[in-house]
A = this chain, B = another copy of it.
Amino acid sequence: MQALPPRIGALPSGPRDAITDVAGVTVGHATLSDGAVQTGVTVVRPHAGDAYLNRVPAGVAVINGFGKSVGLVQVEELGVLETPIALTNTFSVPAVAAAQIRQCVAANPECGRGLPTVNPLVFECNDGYLNDIQRMVLGEADYQAACAAASEWVAQGAVGAGRGMSCFGLKGGIGTASRRVEGQGFTVGALVLANFGLLPNLLLAGRPVGRELAARLAAQEADAAPEKGSIIVLIATDAPLDARQLRRLAVRAGVGIGRTGSVFGHGSGDIALAFSTAYTVPLSPDEPMPRVAMLHDARLDGFFQAAADSVEQAIVHALWHAEPVTGRDGHARAALRDLLPHS
């Protein structure tokens, strides 16, 4: 077994090689693991304050819209987030969205009355192979637990929303990574919920390891199944970018996904969201708007490279750190590390 995951690209990482290398960003998980229940919630908080009162700018790229995420319509119109970003399984989206509403109302009693309603933002993948998704067991307490657990240290693999996810027929889940933008003093971080891909197609840092693994594991049903399941990509940066530029950054998630061996399968909801922590927009129009000099678009290439590399690295990390999981009906997913030759 290799000691370290393959490294993507030439750019240096931040100290944690995680999305939390973007200062202020924290990540929390709530994980359920009990027999046929293998699922959870993961929360990414863009800053320590109330996301409803102080909104970070954001942009979205729907690479393949076979997905049930909620909240994107308003992010695309207004270019800001209003809640922590939540990840979970497909059928738990409503429960988590309800929890976001309740959390916002609890903190802001005029929400939906004197103040505007809040826009829940929940992304999802289908963990139904390992998890009995039809039980819909996740609730408000799990979302709150994930929020409460948010910190700068990010557990990866079969945790939180990643608990039941599969990736290239192996155990997938949560992965994160970061890259420093060359010469500009900024950081780009990515966090993925990786639940996509066919094993024969897996590329690990460009190497077609999937073909050989698939041959070895030929009995696995993964070989014949269509690509489905989805990947959610969250990208953070501390550079001053506006919503239009952040959408451009989010588009580059497709490069990282494609380089691991996906062709954005028909049944895969491949969605990316990028946000900036460089400034916030106040809820109230009576507060002063931030006076910001945005980055010149001609300086974005370094960010695009950092985003593509961070996303590919985060997917590798999701596979690398995932422990094997057995769940619903005895379905099991192996861990990539257990299958790679010892080095």
Seen from chain A, the residues whose Cβ lies within 8 Å of a Cβ on chain B are 62-74, 76-79, 90-91, 93-95, 97-98, 101-102, 105, 111-113, 116-117, 119-120, 126, 128, 133-134, 136, 203, 206-208, 226-228, 242-244, 248, 251-252, 254-255, 258-259, 262-267, 269, 271, 281-282, 284-285, 288-301, 304-305, 307-308
A258 CB to closest chain B CB, in angstroms?
A: 4
- Asked if B301 contacts A266 (CB within 8 A), the reply is yes
Task: Say yes or no: A226-B95 contact (C-beta < 8 A), given A64-B251, A68-B120.
Answer: no
3 shortest interchain CB distances as A-B pairs: A65-B77, A94-B94, A94-B98
Q: Which residues of B contact A93 (CB under 8 A)?
A: 70, 94, 97
Residues of B within 8 A of A105 (CB): 134
Q: Main secondary structure on chain A at its contact with chain B? A: mixed
A263 to B256, CA, bound (A): 9
Kindly identify which residue among B62, B116, B263 contacts A73, using a CB–CB cutoff of 8 Å. B62
A267 to B308 CA separation, bound complex (whole angstroms):
16
**A78 contacts across to B, CB distance below 8 A:** 65-66, 297
A289 and B65 alpha carbons, distance in the complex (Å): 22
Is A289 touching B298 in the complex (CB atoms < 8 A)?
no
Inter-chain contact A252/B264, CB cutoff 8 Å: yes
Q: How far is the CA of A226 from the CA of B298 in the complex (A)?
A: 9
In the complex, besides A74-B269, A252-B264, A263-B308, 15 extra interface pairs with C-beta distance below 8 angstroms are A66-B74, A66-B78, A67-B73, A68-B70, A70-B70, A70-B97, A90-B117, A117-B128, A117-B133, A252-B263, A255-B263, A267-B301, A284-B298, A285-B299, A289-B293
Is A290 a contact of B289 with CB atoms below 8 Å? no
Q: Could you say which residues of chain B place their CB within 8 Å of the CB of A243?
A: 242, 244
Nearest CB on B from A181, distance (A):
12
Asked if residues A289 and B294 are in contact (CB atoms below 8 Å), the reply is yes
> In the complex, which residues of chain B have a beta carbon less than 8 angstroms from the beta carbon of A301?
226-227, 263, 265-267
Q: Are B112 and A128 neighbours in the complex by a CB distance under 8 Å?
A: yes
Distance between A283 CB and nearest chain B CB, rounded to angstroms: 9
A102 partner residues in chain B, CB cutoff 8 A: 136
Residue of B with least CB distance to A67 = B73
CB distance from A268 to the nearest CB of B (A): 9
Q: Decide: A297 near B266, CB < 8 A? Known: A94-B98, A254-B258.
A: yes
A333 → B minimal CB distance (Å): 16
Q: Is the CB of B266 within 8 A of A300?
A: yes
Q: How far is the CA of A143 from the CA of B296 in the complex (A)?
A: 31
B63 near A251 with CB under 8 A, answer yes
Contact yes or no, A112 B98, CB < 8 A: no
